C-alpha cells in the first residue's frame, strides 16, 4: 500500500510522529487554551478505532516553527479500490491562526494529489473546555465522515464515467476562477495538465481527468486546499448532475 504523502510548500516540512510529540504547547491564557498537536491525532485515532475503522497509513507535517500542524490519516480501503484512498485531514495551531479541525478527503495514488469535500466536520476553537469537548466532537465527526466517504466514492465514479470535450473543459476552467477554486495565475498549469497530463492515466477526456488536472495544479498549500477543493467539487458535481450530495 502506498504511503500517505503531504506535498508541501510555504515552509512546511514532513516529519515523524516523534517530532509532533516534541513540539511544546504554549501556556494557556484565560481566553485561549491550545492543545498539543499529538493530542488531536491520538483522539482521532481513538475515535476511528471505536468506529471499527482500521488505520493503515499516516503522514504528519509542521510549519511556522512547529506552531502549525497538518496531518493525514488513511483508513482501510474498500475492496477493489486500488488507485485512490480515503483519508482524514487534520490541522491544529499554536499561533491562533486556525482552530483544531478535521475534514474528509481522498488521495489519488498515481500523483499524490489530495482533495477535501464537504464542510469541515470538526472545527473547535482553542477556548476553555476544548479538552473536555474534544472526545465527543471527534466521535461525532467520525460518524458523519463515514457517510461523506460513501458519497465520495460515488462522486469519483461519476467523474470517471462522464466524458467532457475541450469546450466544456475550458468553460469549467474559467468558472473555477470565478468561484475561487484557483487564482487566475494557476490556470495555465491547469490548461497544461488538461492538454498534456503529467500522468498518462488522465489522458482520457473525462471529468475525472480534468479534476485531477486541477488538484495537480493546486498541490502544496494545505491551509488553502480544503476550501479550494470543496469549491472544485461543487463545480464538478453541478456539471455531472450530482449537486447536493456533499
**Does residue 165 share a domain with residue 140?**
no
**Does residue 133 share a domain with residue 192?**
no
pLDDT at 110: 46
Mean pLDDT by 10 residues, the chain (246 residues): 54 83 95 94 92 87 89 74 74 90 69 56 85 88 76 86 97 96 94 93 94 87 78 93 66
Provide the domain count of the chain. 2
**Does residue 165 share a domain with residue 132?**
no
- Residue 43 structural domain: 13-144
Of the residues 144, 169, 197, the one at which a domain ends: 144
The tally of CA atoms less than 13 A away on the side-chain side of residue 68 is 15
Cell for 13?
A: 516540512
Do the domain assignments include residue 87? yes
pLDDT at 7: 54
**Does residue 180 share a domain with residue 101?**
no
Q: Long-range contact list for 170-175, CB < 8 A, 24+ apart?
A: 172/210, 172/235, 172/236, 172/239, 175/235
**Does residue 163 share a domain with residue 132?**
no
Predicted TM-score of the model (pTM): 0.74
pLDDT at 111: 46
**Does residue 203 share a domain with residue 93?**
no
**Does residue 107 share a domain with residue 18?**
yes
Do the domain assignments include residue 4? no
**Do residues 37 and 20 lie in contact, with contact meaning Cβ atoms separated by under 8 Å?**
yes
Do the domain assignments include residue 3? no
**Does residue 112 share a domain with residue 170?**
no
Of the residues 144, 173, 208, the one at which a domain ends: 144
pLDDT at 89: 83
**Does residue 178 share a domain with residue 130?**
no
Do the domain assignments include residue 213? yes
Amino acid at each position: 500500500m502506498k504511503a500517505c504523502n503531504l506535498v508541501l510548500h510555504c515552509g512546511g516540512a514532513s516529519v515523524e510522529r516523534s517530532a509532533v510529540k516534541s513540539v511544546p504547547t504554549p501556556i494557556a491564557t484565560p481566553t485561549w487554551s491550545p492543545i498539543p498537536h499529538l493530542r488531536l491525532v491520538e483522539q482521532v485515532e481513538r475515535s476511528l478505532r471505536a468506529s471499527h475503522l482500521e488505520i493503515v497509513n499516516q503522514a504528519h507535517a509542521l510549519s511556522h516553527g512547529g506552531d502549525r500542524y497538518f496531518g493525514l490519516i488513511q483508513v482501510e480501503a474498500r475492496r477493489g479500490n486500488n488507485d485512490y484512498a480515503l483519508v482524514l485531514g487534520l490541522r491544529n495551531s499554536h499561533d491562533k491562526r486556525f482552530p483544531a479541525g478535521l475534514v474528509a478527503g481522498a488521495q489519488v495514488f498515481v500523483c499524490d494529489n489530495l482533495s477535501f469535500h464537504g464542510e469541515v466536520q470538526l472545527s473547535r476553537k482553542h477556548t476553555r473546555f476544548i479538552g473536555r469537548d474534544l472526545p465527543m466532537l471527534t466521535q461525532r465527526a467520525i460518524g458523519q465522515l463515514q457517510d461523506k466517504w460513501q458519497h465520495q466514492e460515488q462522486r469519483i465514479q461519476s467523474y470517471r464515467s462522464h466524458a467532457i470535450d475541450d469546450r466544456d473543459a475550458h468553460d469549467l476552467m474559467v468558472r473555477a476562477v470565478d468561484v475561487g477554486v484557483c487564482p487566475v495565475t494557476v490556470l495555465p498549469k491547469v490548461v497544461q495538465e488538461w492538454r498534456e497530463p503529467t500522468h498518462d492515466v488522465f489522458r482520457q477526456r473525462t471529468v475525472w481527468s480534468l479534476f485531477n488536472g486541477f488538484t495537480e495544479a493546486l498541490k502544496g498549500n494545505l491551509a488553502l486546499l480544503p476550501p479550494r477543493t470543496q469549491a472544485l467539487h461543487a463545480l464538478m458535481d453541478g456539471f455531472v448532475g450530482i449537486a447536493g450530495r456533499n
